[in-house]
Amino acid sequence: MGEETIKKRLIKDVEELRDPKGFIRAGFPRFNTLYGRDSLITAWQLLDYDAGIAKNTLKILAELQGQKRDFLSEEEPGKIIHETWPVGQLPEGDWPVPYYASVDVTPLFVILAGKYFEKTEDEDFIKSIWPNIKKAKDWILTFGDENQDGFLDYRQKNPRGLFHHGWKDSNFDKTWPPPIAIVEVQGYKYEALSHFQKLSGENIEGLENFKEKFLNSFFWPEEKFFYLALDGQGVRYQILASNPGHLLFTNLIEMPYKKLIVQRLFQNDFWTEYGLRTHSTANVNFNPYGYHLGAVWPFDNWLIARGLKISGFDKEYEMVKQALLKTYRILGHLPELYGVTLDGEIKSLGRANSLQAWSSAGLLNMLQ
């Protein structure tokens, strides 16, 4: 199957998920609604295809931005939603909607606003949502840093809600003492505040010092890599995961550390001919079919690849691109996730959405 044919099919996927309000729903048949994280990243992936998707996504998320504190919905002033559902439809979890239990969506909202402006120079729209951007920035610096140690962190407030509030929100140990700071979200924080500075012309105090603080707390010298998380008691989690790869698109770390991440991710415990695993085979709880414990996620690969491209790792970027193309040609689509056995065999997973926005949009971005 040629790249032009794949591109046309990916565009069809995206258009199938386009909501009448102009944002892209997360997937089908599951997640066929507005998810903050998914819709923001998909809109970023599609900036070159249709920047209006980013505008519509930012607009509706601004309208749903948190106004008050509510422990059941985990709403807080300035926070951007995790998910919402149309009237008459029930969410998959046991929580009210809109539901706000994501630590990374609010910085991603600011990042997309910055990237949308860089692409379009649409000052009028940015001005129209400027109060929302400012509130999102304020949430990052206040509610998003519960213990005021400088790191963006989270705590489960609804006992029936999600325990973990990053993109890997299942499978992981639920005994970690909160507040929990996960590695990639610190990069999102730095990028969001950097975009806010560019848009506002204001300097955010202590932002450059944050780089040194992050390295002192998150760099894992024995592995020449980064810890997955830091918990509320200061314990560093020595888990080899794909999450540090998201730092590559940020300026939180300098090139020597980016090189270390790339070297580590492209070893055989992560890398397969169908893309990067979410979880190293060296971890005791590795499972090639595990939702967040070893399966391959195309969106995760795209976000890492985006960082590879931005940082000048052209060879590795091309490796990821070709791995996703190979997967598409074998499976006939690019699902939410898939397994790769230790013998290198690709396996479709029954739980995985066959149509997932940030999978299709990510590969489309790489083909444009």
pLDDT tens digits, one per residue of 12-25: 999 999 999 999 99
Long-range contact list for 329-335, CB < 8 A, 24+ apart? 329/1, 329/6, 333/9, 333/13, 333/360, 334/10, 334/298, 334/359, 334/360, 334/362, 334/363, 335/298, 335/359
pLDDT of residue 54: 98
What's the rounded Cα separation, in Å, for the pair 364 and 344?
25
Average pLDDT over residues 216-235: 97
pLDDT of residue 152: 98
pLDDT of residue 351: 86
Query: Which CATH number does the domain housing residue 174 bear?
Result: 1.50.10.10
Give the pLDDT band of residue 64 (cuts 50, 70, 90): very high
Q: Is 66 helix (H, G, I), strand (E, B) or coil?
A: coil
Give the pLDDT band of residue 172 (cuts 50, 70, 90): confident
pLDDT of residue 124: 98
**pLDDT(36) > 90:** yes
What's the rounded Cα separation, in Å, for the pair 229 and 233?
11
Average pLDDT over residues 308-337: 98
What's the rounded Cα separation, in Å, for the pair 138 and 39?
22
Which domain range does residue 167 map to? 3-367
| Distances in whole angstroms, Cα of residue 68 to Cα of each of 38, 97, 109, 183 | 24, 14, 18, 27
Q: What is the pTM (predicted TM-score) of this model?
A: 0.98
More confident residue, 136 or 91: 136
**pLDDT(92) > 80:** no
Average pLDDT over residues 307-326: 98
Provide the residue type at 249 as one letter. Answer: F
The whole-chain average pLDDT of the chain stands at: 97
What is the share, in percent, of the chain residues with pLDDT greater than 70?
100
Domain count, the chain: 1
What's the rounded Cα separation, in Å, for the pair 4 and 200?
41
Q: How many CB atoms lie within 10 A of CB 269?
A: 15
